[in-house]
Structure 1
Amino acid sequence: MKKYILAHDLGTSGNKATLFSENGELIGSYVSSYSTDYFNGTWAEQDAEDWWKAVCITSKKLTESLNINPLDIAVVSFSGQMMGCLCVDKSGNPLRKAIIWADQRAQEQVAQIEQHITQKDFYHIVGHRNTASYGIQKLMWVRDHEPEIYEQTYKTLNAKDFIVSRLTGKFYTDYSDGNGNGCFDLINLKWSDEIIEYAGIDPEKLPELRPSTFVAGGVTKKAAEATGLAEGTPVVLGGGDGVTASVGAGSISSGKTYCCLGTSAWITTASEKPIFDEEMRTVTWAHVVPGLYAPNGTMQTAGGAYNWLKNTICQYEIHQAELNGTSPYDYMNAQIEQSPVGSNGIIFLPYLLGERAPRWDAMAKGAFIGLKPENTKGDMIRSVLEGVTMNLSIVLDILRTQLDINELMVIGGGAKGNHWRQIMADIYDTKVLVPHVLEEAGSMGAAVTGGVGVGLYKDFNVINQFIEVNSVHTPNSDAVLAYQPIKEIFDDCYYALKDVFSKMTK
C-alpha cells in the first residue's frame, strides 16, 4: 500500500498543506490564507483559531481533491513560524491573540533581562541576542500588561505547537522552536533556569521540550472529524520553519550550507557545535537533526528590496510586461546583462527596514551611493542584487571562519533569476547549486522529519535521494577578483553612514 506524508507549513500569511509520497514525490499542495493585525507601530498579532481553520481546510481540500484515503497517510508533521507567544488554558484554548515573530513591543522586558545578564552572556547561552523578537520577552510583556491573562496561562505555544495540541491534546515544543523562546540552553537542549529566573517567568508555563522527530500522539476523534484525517494518525512535532528548511535544502551534515532568497533572506549551515561570533552578528539554532546545530544569519530585505525597486523605478518594465504577458523581471534582468561587475560604481545598501544580521541596526536605511551622470537604470538594478548579496556574504564569511564551505544550495523565489544566481557565485566565491524545486524546502523538511519520526526513513540522509540539482553556477575568477575591493567599499559605506542613519531616525 502506498504511504503518504502530510506536511503543514504554518507561515505568516497562511498555511500550506503539502502531500508527499514516501519516496519524496510532491503529490500536491493547498494553501489557506489568514490575516495579521499590525498596529501601534511595532505590534503584530494573529488569531490562532485562524491557524486551526486553515489546517482543517487544507487537510480536507488536499485529500479530497487528490482522492487520497486518509488511512494511507502515515504521518502528519509540521513546519511553522517561530518566535511567537500564544497563551492557552488547560484545554488548549487561546486566551488572547498570538503575538507573532514580527512584534517588537517587548522592549522594556528586554531591558529587564539586561539588568541581570549581559548581551554576550545571554548570546552564549541561547545562541541569540536578547531582543524583543523572542518568546520569553513577549510572555513577560503579557505578565506586565495583562496579568489576568498571564495568571490563566497554562502553556505558551508557537504556531505548530498549538496545532499539535489541537490534533493530539498534548503540549510540546521541539528544540528549534524552544530555541526561539529566548530562554533555551543551546548546549544542553533544555530550558535555561538562569534566564527564566532573570525573566521572572513561571517555568511551568513553558511546554515540554522534545526532539523534532518526537511522536506527540495520534489524531483524536474530535480532530479527525474537523480535519478529515483518520483517527489515530501519528502526529510528529516537526520544527520551526527556518530550521525545517535546512533539511529540505540538504543542510544535514557539517558544512552543508544553503541560502534562502525570499522577501527576507538568510544563509544557514549545519555544524556539530554552535558558532559564536565575537561581534554576535550571527545566531545559532538547534537543528531538527539530532546532534547538529544550524548557525544562521538572516537579513530583513532581500527579494523585498528588488520588489521595491520594481514597483518604484521600473514602471516601464511593468507596463511592457502587462502588454506582452511576461514578467517585469524579464526586462529588468535584460538590463542587468548590460551592466558590469560593480554596477559602474554604484553601491546599494539594502537596509530598507533596518537590519538584523550582520548589522543588528534597527536605524539603518537603504541607500544608493556613488551615482554619476553616466549611470543607467540597469546599473541601479544590478546594484540592488549586488548589495543584497554582499550583505549576505558577510554572514557566509563569518560561518567560514569555523567551517569549510565550498558549495551552497540556493532556494526561494529570488533564486529563480539566473543573473542573481551567478552574482551570488561570484560574490560568495563558491559553487551555487539550484534544485529542481525552489520553494518547498520547509514542507519537504517537515515531511522528512515526520518520516524519520515514525520509522518510514532510517535517518535524515534520505533527503539526498529527494533533492535533484538542476543547474550549477561556478564562480567567474575575474568577477571574484573584481568584487573583493567592492565588498570592502560596501562595508565602508555602511559604517560611514551609521551615525547619519541614527540622526535621520531621530
Structure 2
Amino acid sequence: MEVRRGRVFAQMNTDAQIVIAIDIGTTSTKTLAVDLNGRILGSHSIEYPLHTPIQGHAEQDPDVICEAVMDSVGHVTKKVADAIKCVSFSSANHSLILLDANGVPLTPSITWADLRSAAQAERLIKDGSGLSIYSRTGTPIHPMSPLVKLVWMREARPDLFESAHYFVGIKEYVLNKLFGILLMDHSIASATGLLNLATLSWDEEALMVAGIREDQLPRLVPSTERMVGLKKQAADRMGLAADTPFIVGAQDGVLANLGIGAVEEGVLAVTIGTSGAVRTTVKQPAFDAQGKLFCYALTDDHWIVGGPSNNGAIVARWIADRLYPGKSIDEVLPLAAAVPPGSNGLLFLPLLSGERAPFWDAEAKGVMFGLTLAHKEADMLRAALEGVLFQITAIVSLMKQAGQRTSEVRASGGFARSILWCQMLADMLGVPVRVPESVESSGLGAAQLGLYAMDGCKGPLLRWKEQEGSLYEPDLANHALYQKILPLYLSLYDRLKEPMREISMLQHTSVG
C-alpha cells in the first residue's frame, strides 16, 4: 500500500523537554513534538486509505493504522529521544473492531462513517429505547455509534459476533499492540453509546441492547491514566525507551477544544476537516430533550457538548473536482469569493454522506435548489460552501435551544486556513471568529492533557497562553441576510426528507 509521509521540521531544540502527541485520524496519523511552551517543534504524518467498496461501507485495516502510529512516532523522535517527558494520544471516535481471545482482529476497523446499521438506528429511535439510552450515555442514536454497530453486527453477522471475545475501537487496538493491555479512556467510552455518564461505568441497558457483556469491553480509565511498560519491539520502532510514560489520552473532538483554548463556557469551537463539528465546554454532563447533541467527557470537571456533521471540506473538494477538474481548492475559492452572499438565490444541501447533526438522518441526500439558466459554476461553488456552514449554524441553534450560550467562536481544521470560509462563518453566526496560529488543535490538546496528567492533574488543564492568530468580525448586513435564509434552508430539508428516503429505497431495490 502506498502512503504519503510528511516531514520532520529541522529546527528541533533537544535541550528542552517535549511531549510527543499522537493524533490517530480517519485519513492519517500525525505525530507532533511539542515543547513545554506549546510550540510545535516537529511533526510527521502518514496517510492510509478508507475502504468504501460498497455504498455505506467505511472500513480500515487496524494493523496499517498501528504501523502508521509507530512509524510516525519514530520519525519525530530521532533527534529528541532523550528529551521526551511523555507521550499522549488523541484518536478519532466511534470505531469498532471485533477481536478473538488473542487480540487478533476478526473484522476491519468499522469507522464512524459506516452506515450499514441505519435500519437498527431507526428502530431504536422509533421504539423509544434509543432516547432512553441517550439520556444516560450522551451519544445520539445513529449508525456512527458503536452501540448501534453492535446491534447490526449481531443481526447481520451472528457468526462473527458470537466468535468475538472483545469489542474495541482503534485506539484501544493500538494500545493493546503497544502494551498488551485493553484500556478505554472515559472520553472515547463516552462516545460509544455504552457508558453511563453519571457513574462512569458501562450502562446495563445499553449492554443488554447491544447483546454484549462488560467483560468483553476494555477496562475503563480516566483520560489522564498513565501507562508504562512499552513492548520492546514497539519501543525500538518508535525510538523510545521502554519506560517512557504514556498518557492514554482522549478523543480528538474534545481535545480540539483544549488545543485552541475553548474550555470556558460560552466559547464555541468549530472544527471543519473532512467532516465538521461544533463543541462547547460545560462543567457537568448536559443533554438535550431531542437527543440530537452529544455530551462527551474530557476530564471529571470538563465535558464537551455539541454536534458533528458528516459533511465538511469533503463537500468543497467534491464540487470543485466536478466543476473545475484539475484545479486545487485554493485555486477555485477566489471564484466563490466573487459571488455575493446567498449565492444569487441558490441553496445547496451538502448532505452527500448522509448527516449527523442537526438532522441525524443516514438517508439524507445532497440537493441543489433554485437553479436557473443564469447561474454559473461559481454560484454553485459558493452555495456548497454556504451549505456546509448552514449545517454548522443549525447545530449552533440547537445548542442555544439547549441552553448553551455563544460569545466567541474559535475555528480549527483545514477550513480555518481559508479567509473566505472564516469570514462566512462569522457572518452566519453573527459573532467574532478567532483562528489560532496553529490549527493542529487535537494534537496540541493531547500534549496539554499529557502535561496535566504528568503533574498529577493538579496544575492547570489549559497550559499555554492564547495564540494571537486571526480575528474575523461579522458583517452585520450579511448576518441579517443569512438569518433570513436559514429557515428556508432548514425547511427545504424538512420537505424533502421523505423523498430522500424513497429514492434510497429505489436505489437499494435496483442494486438488489
Q: TM-score, normalised by structure 2?
A: 0.88
Post-superposition shift, 1:472?
0.7
Q: State the match for 2:195 in structure 1.
A: 184
For residue 13 of structure 1, the aligned residue among 27, 45, 50 is 27
Which range is displaced more, 11-20 or 143-152?
A: 143-152
The 5-angstrom pairing of residues 314-329 of structure 1 reads: 314-315=324-325, 318=326, 327-329=328-330
Which range is displaced more, 338-347 or 217-226?
A: 217-226
* 3-state DSSP of counterpart to 2:399: helix
For residue 97 of structure 1, the aligned residue among 88, 108, 129 is 108
The 5-angstrom pairing of residues 11-410 of structure 1 reads: 11-64=25-78, 67-68=79-80, 70-89=81-100, 91-107=102-118, 110=121, 118-143=129-154, 150=161, 153-286=164-297, 288-315=298-325, 318=326, 327-333=328-334, 335-401=335-401, 402-410=403-411
Distance 1:378 1:98, change over 3 A: closer
CA distance in 2, matches of 1:502, 1:91: 42
Distance 1:332 1:129, change over 3 A: closer
Q: State the match for 1:449 in structure 2.
A: 449
CA distance in 1, matches of 2:121, 2:472: 43
CA distance in 1, matches of 2:189, 2:352: 30
CA distance in 2, matches of 1:40, 1:382: 30
Q: TM-score, normalised by structure 1?
A: 0.89
Q: Is the 8 A contact 2:37 2:464 kept in 1?
A: no
Distance 1:377 1:102, change over 3 A: closer
Q: Is the 8 A contact 1:347 1:369 kept in 2?
A: yes
Distance 1:342 1:99, change over 3 A: closer
CA distance in 2, matches of 1:181, 1:337: 40
* 3-state DSSP of counterpart to 1:218: coil
Q: Is the 8 A contact 2:124 2:130 kept in 1?
A: no
Q: Is the 8 A contact 1:448 1:460 kept in 2?
A: no
CA distance in 2, matches of 1:449, 1:236: 8
CA distance in 2, matches of 1:456, 1:13: 33
CA distance in 2, matches of 1:232, 1:491: 54
Q: Is the 8 A contact 2:151 2:209 kept in 1?
A: no
Which range is displaced more, 362-371 or 152-161?
A: 152-161
CA distance in 2, matches of 1:106, 1:382: 33
Post-superposition shift, 1:337?
3.7
Q: State the match for 2:426 in structure 1.
A: 425
Q: Is the 8 A contact 1:272 1:293 kept in 2?
A: yes
What amino acid is aligned across from residue 488 of structure 2 in structure 1?
I
Post-superposition shift, 1:151?
5.5
Distance 1:303 1:253, change over 3 A: same
Q: Is the 8 A contact 1:275 1:399 kept in 2?
A: no
Q: Is the 8 A contact 1:218 1:235 kept in 2?
A: no
CA distance in 2, matches of 1:81, 1:427: 28
Is it true that 1:496 corresponds to 2:495 in the alignment? yes
* 3-state DSSP of counterpart to 2:434: strand
Q: Is the 8 A contact 2:255 2:445 kept in 1?
A: yes
Q: State the match for 1:473 in structure 2.
A: 472
Distance 1:192 1:457, change over 3 A: closer
What amino acid is aligned across from residue 83 of structure 2 in structure 1?
D
**CA deviation digits over 1:307-334, x for unaligned, max 9?**
122111124xx56xxxxxxx5534432x
Q: Is the 8 A contact 2:266 2:280 kept in 1?
A: yes
CA distance in 2, matches of 1:389, 1:139: 32
Q: Is the 8 A contact 2:452 2:461 kept in 1?
A: no
What amino acid is aligned across from residue 300 of structure 1 in structure 2?
N
Q: Is the 8 A contact 2:131 2:141 kept in 1?
A: no
Q: Is the 8 A contact 2:408 2:433 kept in 1?
A: yes
**Tell me, which stretches of 5 or more residues in structure 2 are unaligned?**
1-14, 507-512
What amino acid is aligned across from residue 218 of structure 2 in structure 1?
P
Post-superposition shift, 1:205?
0.6
Distance 1:314 1:63, change over 3 A: same
Backbone CA RMSD of aligned residues: 2.5
**Tell me, which stretches of 5 or more residues in structure 1 are unaligned?**
320-326
Q: Is the 8 A contact 2:227 2:248 kept in 1?
A: yes
Which range is displaced more, 104-113 or 149-158?
A: 104-113
Q: State the match for 2:482 in structure 1.
A: 483
CA distance in 1, matches of 2:277, 2:416: 12
Post-superposition shift, 1:107?
5.0
**CA deviation digits over 1:424-461, x for unaligned, max 9?**
111101100011112x1111111111111112885454
What amino acid is aligned across from residue 475 of structure 2 in structure 1?
N
Question: How many residue pairs get matched?
Answer: 490
Post-superposition shift, 1:266?
1.2
CA distance in 2, matches of 1:231, 1:53: 18
Q: Is the 8 A contact 1:174 1:210 kept in 2?
A: yes
Distance 1:464 1:403, change over 3 A: farther
Post-superposition shift, 1:142?
4.9
CA distance in 2, matches of 1:131, 1:433: 31
**CA deviation digits over 1:71-90, x for unaligned, max 9?**
32111111112212223355
**CA deviation digits over 1:261-303, x for unaligned, max 9?**
11211111111234433333322222x2322221121112221
CA distance in 1, matches of 2:234, 2:31: 16
Post-superposition shift, 1:45?
2.9
Q: State the match for 1:322 in structure 2.
A: none
Is it true that 1:413 corresponds to 2:424 in the alignment? no
CA distance in 1, matches of 2:128, 2:214: 18
Distance 1:277 1:115, change over 3 A: closer
CA distance in 2, matches of 1:149, 1:368: 41
Q: Is the 8 A contact 1:172 1:216 kept in 2?
A: no
Q: State the match for 1:323 in structure 2.
A: none
* 3-state DSSP of counterpart to 1:77: strand
Post-superposition shift, 1:119?
2.5
